[in-house]
Structure 1
Amino acid sequence: MPEWAIYAVAAVAGYLAGSIPFGLVLVKAAGLGDIREIGSKSIGATNVLRTGRKDLALATVLLDSLKAGLVALAFTLIAGREAGMVAGAAAFLGHCYPIWLKFKGGKGVATYAGLLLFITPLHGLVVGAPVWLGMFALTRISSLSALTAAVAVPPGAYLLGERSPVILGGLAALSVLVFWTHRANIGRLLAGTEPRFGAKKKDAAEG
């Protein structure tokens, strides 16, 4: 199979896997209604947490990470890391713009994390996770932590020795997309109104 065809298959498989709306499915299965009708209306884990079910939020994080990570790992084993990156990046797009939900999904943080941990674990564990955790410890603001980690990952990967144009380009593109999906959060951060974790705010839009 030619390389372009492998990438095409990886993209389609990744997008379909990423489009599975685990947050929506879990909340509905628990009899808590439609997650898109509360909070930020996102299908991501932070919005699931607004149902009061920490277990559902944790399950959403894990499943949203795995749907990107496993499809990336599968194509990495089949056709190499570049194909894995294509599949994982497509899963990110599927999560943010799922075909089943009229292209209105989550913000991609968990899927990005899953991709990093399964296809470039060094970059995820040495750069992404510590930066996210450090910023969250300082600010208690989930969106700012995600944005800071997104900025750090591509140059961090390069400094750690990554030289594949597909991997570096994919990481850079996904980091830009994280900023796009968090544009409402960025507006609130600039205005000083973005809620902190644990604060009693009705509508934080991370997820």
Structure 2
Amino acid sequence: MSPEAIADVTAIAALILAYLAGSVSTAIIVCRVMGLPDPRSDGSRNPGTTNVMRIGGKKAAGITLAGDLLKGVIPVLVARYAGFDIMLISAIGFLAFMGHLYPIFFRFEGGKGVATALGVLIALSPQIGLLVSALWISAFIFTRISSVGAIIAFIAAPIITYLYMPDAMLGVFGMSALLLARHKANIKALIEGNERRFK
């Protein structure tokens, strides 16, 4: 097998493994282990950190957040260590994010992807990750509405990526577009004034 063919096979394998890593739904596993209701059928019915917080409290939510962040961080860091070019690395991050949204292990019923996307950004570039995270945290603190933080942060994410790492912009734009689409119901609730706040 030629070096080019080996490189192609390695890249395809990395993309598949990233998707499979993203498909490990931390929220569902945490809720099962801790004896909590399935987040897909309780609360907001979203298997993510915010809903786990509502269902099971801070400890369960903290574990879920850490797991979802790592699903984005680990595949990207491994890809960087392997010496892949930045466009392939951003594609690997995108596939990890897609795994979270559409997990093959859990009937393709995934979350909205905020924590996993943040993990991808942090591993791509600490500067990008910290700026987007700061936007999310600031908007959440100001409004006490999780979705507002996510929406503002990921409208800005492609712009910030373009400024710091333009070769990764396509993957980040794809993540942001899908993440915002997953927040369609939240955007509608915000417009109608019905979106839930954290006390």
The normalised TM-score by structure 1 is: 0.88
Q: Distance in 2 between matches of 1:50 and 1:137?
A: 17
Distance 1:97 1:106, change over 3 A: same
Which residue pairs with 2:111 in the alignment? Answer: 106
Say if 1:7 and 1:186 are closer, same or farther in 2 by CA, change over 3 A. farther
Q: Name structure 1 gaps, 5 residues minimum.
A: 199-207
SS in 2 for 1:152: helix
Superposed, which structure 2 residues align to 1:1-207 within 5 Å? 1-2=3-4, 3-80=7-84, 81-125=86-130, 127-160=131-164, 162-164=165-167, 167-198=168-199
Shift of 1:18: 0.3
Deviation at 1:4, TM superposition (A): 4.2
Measured in 1, the distance between the counterparts of 2:78 and 2:162 equals 24
Report the alpha carbon displacement of residue 88 of structure 1 after superposing the two structures with TM: 1.4
SS at match of 2:166: coil
d(CA) in 2 for partners of 1:43 and 1:121? 26
Q: Which runs of 5+ in 2 are unaligned?
A: none
Q: Secondary structure at the match of 2:40?
A: helix
Aligned length: 194
The question of whether the paired residues in 2 share the 8 Å contact of 1:96 and 1:104 is answered with: yes
Give me the TM-score of the superposition, normalised by structure 2.
0.91
Deviation string 1:19-58 (CA, Å, 9 cap, x unpaired) is 0011111111111232222111111111111123211100
Q: Displaced runs of 4+ in structure 1, greater than 6 A?
A: none
**Bigger mean CA deviation after superposition, 108-117 or 3-12:** 3-12
* Alignment RMSD: 1.5
Q: Which has the higher contact order (CA 8 A, sep 6+)?
A: 1
- Checking the alignment, whether the CA contact within 8 Å between 2:76 and 2:92 is kept in structure 1 is yes
| Residues 48 and 112, structure 2, Cα contact 8 Å, conserved in 1 | yes
Distance 1:192 1:53 in 2: 25
Query: Contact (CA 8 Å) 1:10, 1:86: kept in 2 or not?
Result: no
**Partners in 1 of 2:60 and 2:120 — Cα distance?**
21
C-alpha displacement of 1:137: 2.1
